[in-house]
Structure 1
Amino acid sequence: MFFAEDSVPRVKEEYFENKRREIVDAAYRVCARKPITSIDMKDIIDEAGFSHGVIYKYYKDLDEVLLDLVRRINEDNRLNDKIISIFGQQDKKNWEEIIRDVCAMLADYMIQVGPDVLKISIYANMMAVSEPERAERIAGKLQKNETSPLIELISALSVFMKKVVSKNKLKPVKSISKILEYMVAAYHGIQTGYVLSNCYHAEQVIGKYKPKEMFSCLAESVILMINGKE
């Protein structure tokens, strides 16, 4: 049986991509079980069931594997369409409703991505604190369209909030950048509590971290901060 000349490179490329996908799958499972900072390449090799040589044929080191894992997670959980839809309602809804819609979207996002992705996110944040240079090297290799969906949202929120303040002549209690920092910190706090409650069943927090309720509270606090003082 004969193959077209141009089919051979395509088959090789598909085989190459499938192998890389299997390795990233293995990394996903490992990273959902243990902190990223405690993982080494042997963990990935053992999980994938490949030989040492096979793994290093496709990735030169662990950080290359982690980079592709981050790319996949971000690609699988894009918020672009939802962001466009929410901010596209500005002519039909008041700005407070838009803020509530954004926070409701974040609650849905947290629930929908699943516990494994949330745990990996927490472990990645831990690495950013304990090994900042390493984390920066990995993040620095991401293209603009490969970064976290939440970065896109923060950018859109910044533009929106500044427009709201200017249009309504508001005097927020803090600068927009500080309010956004508060939102990011709150998001990570809710995420951590949600994981502790639903994945590790920590007695102190079990059942207490309900994303929809907590993000609803976040929305109201952000609205109050933007409204400022009369």
Structure 2
Amino acid sequence: MPKVSHEYVKEKKKSILEAAIAVCKVKPLYDISMRDIIKASGVSQGGIYRYYSDLDEILIEVINQVNVNADYKHIIDEITDTSNSPTKTIIKLFNFLGEYMKENVSTVGKIQFELTILFANNPDREKKILSNIYENESGQYFMQQIFHSIHNGISSGCFQLKISIEDLSTFIMTSIDGIVRDVVLQKCYGVFSNGQVQFDEIRLMNTLCKSVLLLLGTNEGED
């Protein structure tokens, strides 16, 4: 095989990766085959194996690329640095999360949801994939800043907790997980699409935010 430049290999792998991401948007991650990516990329079967050893190596790069694009810690820092009260910080953080979900449900949300299914049915693949992906810590950072604001509000007397901090933490995390799951199911799989209920990520996060503020003993976030 004739020698090819590093730039050529880089561009070829980028092209294959873009095709794989496009496939992930329209087909469940756990159902994707190498044939799907070959067809989408236009690369021959023999050609694709010059750049990737197997399907999981491609999926690992897809997940890593998605995680890089999903890093929003700098936006959280901007919100916390410019907000002048714990309540305003919490409102802005939930508003941002709703907007972020609306923009990224077909990529980040869908892929993360489908990874849990792939791992549940393929524990051997789980070990291989998890050991090679870059962890996206933005979600954890979001929760840290939410509770940093809550503790600041409690210390300053702005908040009077109606439930324990442990129960509040569980409520917020399970609510966000449930919203993400149901929005992905509706918008990516057509579940709950009966014409009566259309999930809106921004409104759902706004409602969750108001619920949290009520549990914190303040109605400042009400319209």
Same fold by TM-score greater than 0.5: yes
Count of residue correspondences: 214
**Aligned equivalents of 2:152, 2:144: Cα separation in 1:** 13
**Aligned equivalents of 1:136, 1:162: Cα separation in 2:** 37
What's 1:26 paired with? 19
**Aligned equivalents of 1:227, 1:137: Cα separation in 2:** 46
What's 1:194 paired with? 183
**Aligned equivalents of 2:186, 2:148: Cα separation in 1:** 34
Query: Which SS does the other structure have where 2:146 is aligned?
Result: helix
What's 2:126 paired with? 135
Say if 2:70 and 2:136, in contact at 8 Å, map to a contact too.
no
What's 1:50 paired with? 43
Q: Which moved more, 1:121-130 or 1:214-223?
A: 121-130
Q: Which amino acid aligns with 2:23?
A: V
Say if 2:87 and 2:153, in contact at 8 Å, map to a contact too.
no
Q: CA deviation at 1:194?
A: 2.8
Q: 1:17 to 1:185 in 2, by over 3 A?
A: farther
Among 150, 168, 174, the residue aligned to 1:185: 174
Say if 1:30 and 1:44, in contact at 8 Å, map to a contact too.
yes
Among 136, 152, 165, the residue aligned to 2:141: 152
What's 1:212 paired with? 202
What's 2:59 paired with? 66
What's 1:6 paired with? none
TM-score w.r.t. length of structure 1 = 0.76
Q: Which amino acid aligns with 1:26?
A: A
Q: CA deviation at 1:181?
A: 4.2
TM-score w.r.t. length of structure 2 = 0.78
Q: CA deviation at 1:163?
A: 4.2
**Aligned equivalents of 1:224, 1:73: Cα separation in 2:** 35
**Aligned equivalents of 1:47, 1:151: Cα separation in 2:** 34
Structure 1: 5+ residue stretches without partners: 1-10
Say if 1:41 and 1:62, in contact at 8 Å, map to a contact too.
yes
Say if 2:89 and 2:149, in contact at 8 Å, map to a contact too.
no
Query: Which SS does the other structure have where 1:120 is aligned?
Result: helix
Q: CA deviation at 1:35?
A: 1.9
Q: Which moved more, 1:127-136 or 1:37-46?
A: 127-136
Q: CA deviation at 1:23?
A: 1.5
Query: Which SS does the other structure have where 2:175 is aligned?
Result: helix
Q: Which amino acid aligns with 1:213?
A: R
Q: CA deviation at 1:201?
A: 7.0
Q: CA deviation at 1:20?
A: 1.5
Say if 1:37 and 1:127, in contact at 8 Å, map to a contact too.
yes
Structure 2: 5+ residue stretches without partners: 219-223
What's 2:102 paired with? 111
Among 74, 86, 90, the residue aligned to 1:81: 74
> Share of identical aligned residues, percent?
24
What's 1:3 paired with? none
**Aligned equivalents of 1:193, 1:49: Cα separation in 2:** 34
Q: Within the alignment, does 1:102 sit opposite 2:93 as a pair? A: yes
RMSD, aligned α-carbons: 3.1
Q: Which moved more, 1:14-23 or 1:201-210?
A: 201-210
Deviations 1:34-57 (A, max 9, x none): 222222222222222212232222
Q: CA deviation at 1:132?
A: 5.1
Q: CA deviation at 1:218?
A: 0.8
